[in-house]
Amino acid sequence: MHLYITGFLPDSFADSSLKYDLDVAPEFEQKVMDILGWESLAAEADGELPLTKEQVSQIAAAIKESLPDHLDLFIGVVA
C-alpha cells in the first residue's frame, strides 16, 4: 500500500476529470502520515480525504516537491 495524491478542478468547474496525481515515495510516507495524524496506511485505506491548504503546504515541504495550489487536492491509500 502507498499514499496517492489526486487533484481536481474546484466544484465550480464542469470538468471533473483528474488533473493531477502523485504517488508519494515510500521514504516520505511517515512524514506525510504524521502531518495528517494517521497511525498507519491500513487504518486509512477507505477512500480519499480532502487536504486543507495548510496540509498541502506542509506535505509539499515534507516531500520536497511543489503541489498545485489551484486544484482541490485529496489523499488516499492504494494497494
**Helix residue ranges per DSSP H, the chain:** 29-36, 53-63
In this prediction, residue 34 has a pLDDT band, given cuts at 50, 70 and 90, of very high
Q: Is the pLDDT of residue 42 over 90?
A: no
In this prediction, residue 45 has a pLDDT band, given cuts at 50, 70 and 90, of confident
Give all domains of the chain, ordered by start, each with its CATH number: 2-78 (3.10.50.20)
Q: Which of 27, 35, 30 is nearest to 73 (CA)?
A: 35
pLDDT on residue 73: 98
pTM above 0.75, yes or no: yes
Q: Is the pLDDT of residue 3 over 90?
A: yes
